[in-house]
Amino acid sequence: MTKEMPVWHNPEGAPLSCVEKIKVLNENFVELREMMQDALEDALLMGCDEEQFRAAMRDVVAELENPYGTAEKKS
């Protein structure tokens, strides 16, 4: 199944236009998606509860720290 790439935006909400930046973001996104899919499949094969695993992955994302300062979230 092929998934579409997100449209990457800057903090002001405008789409990024630099081709090289978009390429790196897309490559990272594909790599992370593949790793997470593999990890989910491993967890299921070993008998882990699917929702627990998904919750743990959401927690990992929520715990990521921005080393460059805080970004304001849009409401």
Query: How far is Cα 5 from Cα 60, in angstroms, rounded to an integer?
Result: 21
pLDDT digits (tens, 9 = 90+) for 1-50: 457 899 999 999 999 999 999 999 999 999 999 999 999 999 999 999 99
Q: Does a structural domain hold residue 25?
A: yes
Please provide residue 45's backbone torsions phi and psi, each rounded to the nearest 5 degrees: -65, -30
Q: Does a structural domain hold residue 13?
A: no
pLDDT digits (tens, 9 = 90+) for 19-28: 999 999 999 9
What pLDDT is recorded for position 73?
58
Q: Does a structural domain hold residue 68?
A: no
Cβ-based burial of 25 (10 A; exposed 0-12, middle 13-18, buried ≥19): middle
Q: Does a structural domain hold residue 46?
A: yes
Q: How many domains would you assign to the chain?
A: 1
Q: Domain limits at 40? A: 19-61
**Which pair of tokens denotes residue 70?**
């805080």
Q: Does a structural domain hold residue 50?
A: yes
